[in-house]
Amino acid sequence: MKILSQTLSVFLMALFLQGCQLGQDDDEEDVIDTVTITSEYYEDDVTRDNSYELILQATANYADFTAQDNITEIKIYSDESYILIDSDESIDEIKIFGDGNTIVVNSGVDLTVTQVTITGDNNGITVFGVTACSDTGVDNTVLANSVAVCI
């Protein structure tokens, strides 16, 4: 009887462990880094190996830099920024709350943005494609493949 009980215990333990998974789960979401630029003048290029969210937030920000690879989202709270995107295929969202900002892609970069949201004024975005757009500001321009969208 003791042998039957031990065998049954081992069988149930093996069955239980079959449902357990050791190691990293492939379904886990990637960690997204946040790169926040708060200095008034910023001219260094931004690139990361991991996915990252790019945030510009300074009271008076003059940023002129190249962003590369793995951008998931861009949020601009400041004014007068110029961002050149040198490489990437898609960005989930671009949000612009400031005024006079420009985002463009380098020649040959076919960047598609899933959602563009602009509440500031006098901003410009030039990319390959835009899936959805919301513009509540004044005098903003969103060009996708040289065609005005978000009118």
pLDDT digits (tens, 9 = 90+) for 14-63: 544 454 444 444 545 667 777 777 666 666 667 666 676 777 776 555 56
Per-residue HEC secondary structure of 49-93 comes to: CCCEEEEECCCCCEEEEEEECCEEEEEECCCCCEEEEEECCEEEE
pLDDT of residue 64: 59
54 close to 61: Cβ distance less than 8 angstroms: no
Residue entry with tokens 């990637």: 30
Q: Where are the domains of the chain?
A: 29-149
* Higher local confidence (pLDDT), 84 or 17: 84
CA-CA distance, 64 to 71, in Å (whole number)? Answer: 17
pLDDT of residue 81: 85
pLDDT of residue 22: 44
Q: Of all helices (H) and strands (E), which one includes residue 139?
A: none
The stretch 72-97 carries a mean pLDDT of 87
For residue 128, the Cα-to-chain-centroid distance in whole angstroms is: 16
pLDDT of residue 33: 75
pLDDT digits (tens, 9 = 90+) for 101-138: 999 988 888 989 999 999 999 999 999 999 999 999 99
pLDDT of residue 21: 46
pLDDT of residue 24: 46
pLDDT of residue 58: 63
The CA–CA distances, whole Å, from 50 to 12, 23, 67, 70, 115 equal: 41, 20, 13, 6, 21
CB burial of residue 95 (10 Å; 0-12, 13-18, 19+)? middle
Longest CA span, the chain: 85
CA-CA distance, 147 to 103, in Å (whole number)? Answer: 15
